[in-house]
Structure 1
């Protein structure tokens, strides 16, 4: 119990750092130094140096800036506009009609960007003005965009799954493959919700426009080919074992640049902007990961994770009870921190107790990402809410209210993978 009290004291130090506005990476490193200096005999300077060096040249981590660069290139190209134009003609007669462009567009762009915020910004920039112009209700337009953009965290190549894989030393390739079926499941759930709303209240949805011929729809679908080639090139090379996630990320960058120049509307200046944006984002995430790695090592020296796992084990919680408690914990934590920070702050403490009750760490990674997806649409720190507010100027409370049904759908998705773990684990078992 003494070590538990030490852990609570260190948590208080961390909260004090964060409340003071200290950068998350520095806050993590500061707590690690306090832990080593006050509660262990380890040489703090040597541990810091070896940890930073050992975690800064991880080959798995090289995939992170590459996937970020791929998403930044696509954000500035015409590929996203082509994707909208290719999907719209096929959805004019589906219940909910063009609202499905938000759902399917976010799912497709998520498969080539790896970022929830980039997905919300890119799809929202195209879809929101067009759907509002055609008379679709604001609440459903905003809600489908906010909810579906969270798929950017789950559908591979997912930046947050790379962070989890590096932080927990799990196979990034297996995590990517494990996320495919849950990502498709959530996409289907979002689409069914839109269709159900349209069936229950047909007056919500504007009447269909002029029906396009089959040949016209096929012609429009040609615009989807570049994006589908990119998805197949990246995800297919990982799943077939032809490339590691890092190799596939490099392939994705090359394909994204070629396709961006090939479809027009892209320039060397925009490529430079994409590279600088990727450097800023990658440096921020890498800095946080290094701070988290130092904290994780420091926690090992103090013995707190082992004590905490033993304490939880002594409570006799079943796996379901532990997951229920963790779900509430992560939802509350996600109301105040971004998803990457949630993962790097908690995995070193949570993973030992999760493994102690027999939960597969690959399955837990997917569970954790879905729960973190909820935090993207919960105030006050829901990144998707801020992105959409910037695009539309709508009050963040109204956006959060519109996104709430999708929060419930994500919660239902968590329930499904808890009830049926094979949804996550079946594809990785084939590798």
Structure 2
């Protein structure tokens, strides 16, 4: 059977399994196993387990569960609530200020947790009910949180950037720096659209009834300032981690381990989480997400190995490379591919499967691999707020089940267009990505 036909059958089988609700890792693993046995024979069973475990037997992967543990310690504590209250103090009275402050809280919490679902859940639990109570449309309330949550996979430290760095053998520290400015740019675009949407809807600049606000303003300010003081130690820890990475003081795994220990300790001390229950919850959440991601990585590596063994990867890469088109047309084709893949697969799976295939093509077309990492990540961010998988959409629906899913989708769509605009801006101004890494690391 020729590689093209084999590739169509393998990908079709994968989509069928995912469509009937098979977990991503098991779908990837089972399709890979059947394809290898049919193509190479039963002898492949000997190497399946070895390849599966070897794919994650790298010290660099230690950074993933450690950063996840750090994010779980932050997400399971009231840090998101305190961030929300602090930013609402400064921005809540401007038109659309509460929604804008929620996006700001998402940006900061993304740096603390490194996880899009955790960011959307932590900020959304406080922000969505409060915005609806103050008269914001359901679409604006749901959309700004869903979009703000996607920043978790772009703003450093980011688990997906770690996976990209390992898959493509690029510097994780440089990837973290490369994601900082585009992350802030996207946050700015989100805030701009939120301001426009709120003005179109009439503006929302009265966060509380005037009499109540006048009576409680001192108490509110003091409470919000205390909340800000509680958040500051976590921000200092994240800043220290990034400094250690950028300065070459520690490897990503070492920095992640130190960050996890410090954030867990701060969550216990600052929020008095001395009981066994909260600590058990943190460990359970971190273990669950770590195992899920590591299983997806291992299964995706097996899937990539199967595609390579059947010469599917080489055929597709050769076909793309042989396209006699302008390099920007080639980049547009790649972006469409990544966008469609992000609709159906989680970011980690897309990166592990696609990045090694696309990297030689990107380098041959004279694109910067760190610039491409950011473009790829933004494409995958779009997939987090678009159906059919759209993880953040379902998180928002879980937080506010009485909001119609149609309103969640329509509220999130303009933010997806903001991400498309962000990709266009990066194509015209690649220095947004490359300037800071070149300045810091040369």
Alpha-carbon distance between aligned partners in 2 of 1:27 and 1:208, rounded to the nearest angstrom: 48
Structure 2 Cα separation of the partners of residues 152 and 143 of structure 1: 15
Using the alignment, how far apart are the partners of 1:347 and 1:277 within structure 2?
28
Q: Is the 8 A contact 2:173 2:246 kept in 1?
A: yes
Equivalent residues of 1:233, 1:251 under 8 A apart? no
Does 2:52 align with 1:52? yes
- TM-score normalized with structure 1 length: 0.91
Tell me how far apart the structure 2 counterparts of residues 43 and 177 of structure 1 sit (CA, whole Å). 45
Tell me, in whole angstroms, the C-alpha distance in 1 between the residues paired with 2:437 and 2:128.
37
Q: Once the 2 structures are TM-superposed, how far is the Cα of residue 29 of structure 1 from its aligned partner?
A: 2.8
Contact 1:88-1:98 within 8 A present in 2 as well: yes
SS at match of 1:7: helix
Say which of 387, 390, 397 aligns to 2:398.
390
Inter-CA distance 223–309: structure 2 relative to 1 (3 Å threshold): same
2:233 matched to which residue of 1?
Answer: 226
Counterpart of 1:187? 187
Asked if the contact 2:113/2:152 (under 8 Å) is kept, the reply is: yes
- Give yes or no for contact 2:112–2:235 (8 Å, CA) kept in 1: no
Q: 1:341 aligns to what SS in structure 2? A: helix
Contact 1:86 1:224 (8 Å CA) reproduced: no
Q: Distance in 2 between matches of 1:247 and 1:148?
A: 29
**Distance in 2 of aligned mates of 1:395 and 1:328:** 29
Alignment partner of 1:428 is 2:437: yes
In 2: Cα distance, 1:261 partner to 1:33 partner: 44
Matched, 1:246 2:253: yes
Displacement after TM superposition at 1:219 (Å): 6.1
Which residue of 301, 309, 315 corresponds with 1:307?
Answer: 315
1:193 to partner: Cα distance: 2.0
Q: What is residue 329 of structure 1 aligned with on the other side?
A: 337
RMSD: 2.6
SS at match of 1:288: helix
Aligned pairs, number = 430
SS at match of 2:385: coil
Structure-to-structure mapping, 1:210-289, within 5 angstroms: 210=213, 221-266=228-273, 267-289=275-297
Describe the SS at the equivalent of 1:98.
helix
CA contact (8 A) 1:77 1:265 kept: no
Alpha-carbon shift at residue 277 of structure 1 (Å): 1.5
Deviation at 1:11, TM superposition (A): 2.1
Residue equivalent to 1:141: 141
In structure 2, the residue matched to 1:362 is 370
Contact 1:83–1:223 (CA<8 Å) still a contact in 2? no
* Cα distance change on mapping 1:341 and 1:54 into 2, 3 Å: closer
User: What's the secondary structure of 1:207's corresponding residue?
Assistant: coil
Question: Tell me, which stretches of 5 or more residues in structure 2 are unaligned?
Answer: none
Deviations 1:354-377 (A, max 9, x none): 333233332222111111111111
**For 1:142-162, what per-residue CA distance to the aligned partner results, in whole angstroms no more than 9, with x for missing partners?**
121111111011111112222
- Measure how far apart 1:173 and its partner are: 1.8
What are the within-5 Å matches in structure 2 for residues 199-210 of structure 1? 200-201=199-200, 203-207=202-206, 210=213
Q: Is the 8 A contact 1:377 1:383 kept in 2?
A: yes
Change (3 A) 1:27 1:347: farther
Query: Does the 8 Å contact 2:146/2:396 carry over to 1?
Result: yes
* 1:259-316, Cα deviation, whole Å (9 max, x unpaired): 2122225233211111112111111111111111122233333333233222222221
CA apart distance, 1:35: 4.4
CA contact (8 A) 1:3 1:307 kept: yes
Which residue is equivalent to 1:375? 383
Q: Are the counterparts in 1 of residues 301 and 353 from structure 2 also a CA contact under 8 Å?
A: no
Secondary structure (helix, strand or coil) at the match of 1:317 reads coil
Instruction: Give the corresponding residue for 2:358.
Output: 350
Once the two structures are overlaid, the 10-residue window that deviates more, 267-276 or 301-310, is: 301-310
3-state SS of the aligned residue for 2:386? coil
1:402 corresponding residue in structure 2: 411
Equivalences for 1:35-114 in 2 at 5 Å? 35-39=35-39, 44-114=44-114
> Over residues 190-248 of structure 1, what are the superposed CA-to-partner deviations in whole Å (9 max), with x where a residue is unaligned?
122223344x4473314365586898676664344123213212222212222222112
Contact 1:86/1:222 (8 A) holds in 2:
no
Q: What is the CA–CA distance in structure 2 between the aligned matches of 1:18 and 1:349, rounded to whole Å? A: 22
Task: Return closer, same or farther for 1:19/1:138 CA change in 2, 3 Å cut-off.
Answer: closer
